[in-house]
Amino acid sequence: MANEEFPLKKVCIICAKGTLEDVYAALIMGNGAVMEGIETKLFFTFFGLDAITTKTMNSLHTGVTGNPSMRMPGGLPFPTLLGVIPGVEAGVSAMMRNQINKADIPPVKEFLEMIDAGGGEVFACKLGMDMFKLKREDLWEGVKEVLTVGQFYEKCGGLQTQIIFT
């Protein structure tokens, strides 16, 4: 009943982490919202900027140390200590990307293009850009604007807006 009276009109997703799993969570939620006809805005800040930086967007890594949900083949917990061994994180990340491909989930750039084509908007955080000394030309060409967090919140205004932080 509440959904009929107050349908969700807009979703604003903030992606602040640059791990493969965190970026894909934001992209999947954003794409799902676009497909449901919900006005969608994605804001990438801090390490989440890796998802929209052309040099890093297709080489994101999976966090292996301190990740209690990480499992080895067969379902056994992944020993955190293994994550410090050189090459382990890269190997786990490659396996994760392979699983993403097998599930027919598009690469990051293609996912962003799908969101953009569906009417979603992608924004970069000015503070994060300044901190990491990124320039506008370092970003994926579909980034609509570089904004302060206040400017982003202005774009998210309205009572029927959901803000999601990943």
Q: What is the largest CA-CA distance in the chain?
A: 54
As for how many domains the chain has, the answer is: 1
Give the chain's end-to-end CA distance (angstroms, integer): 28
Whether 1 is covered by a domain: the verdict is no
E strands of the chain, at which residues? 10-15, 39-44, 121-125, 145-147, 161-165
What pLDDT sits at residue 159? 67
Q: Find the domain containing 76 and state its range.
A: 10-165
How far is Cα 79 from Cα 64, in angstroms, rounded to an integer? 9
Band of residue 149 on the pLDDT scale cut at 50, 70, 90: very high
Contacts for 98 with CB less than 8 Å, ≥ 6 apart: none
Eight-state DSSP code of residue 49: G
pLDDT of 60: 94
Burial 100-111 (b: 16+ CB within 10 A, else e): beeeebeebbeb
What pTM, to 2 d.p., does this model score?
0.88
pLDDT digits 0-9 by tens, 59-97? 999 888 777 777 777 878 888 778 788 888 888 889 889
- Residue 4 is assigned to a structural domain of this protein: no
Q: Is residue 5 part of a domain?
A: no
Query: Residue 72 sits in a domain of what CATH number?
Result: 3.40.1260.10
pLDDT confidence of residue 1: 42
Region 116-129: mean pLDDT is: 97
**What mean pLDDT is reported for the chain?**
90
Say if 2 falls within a structural domain. no
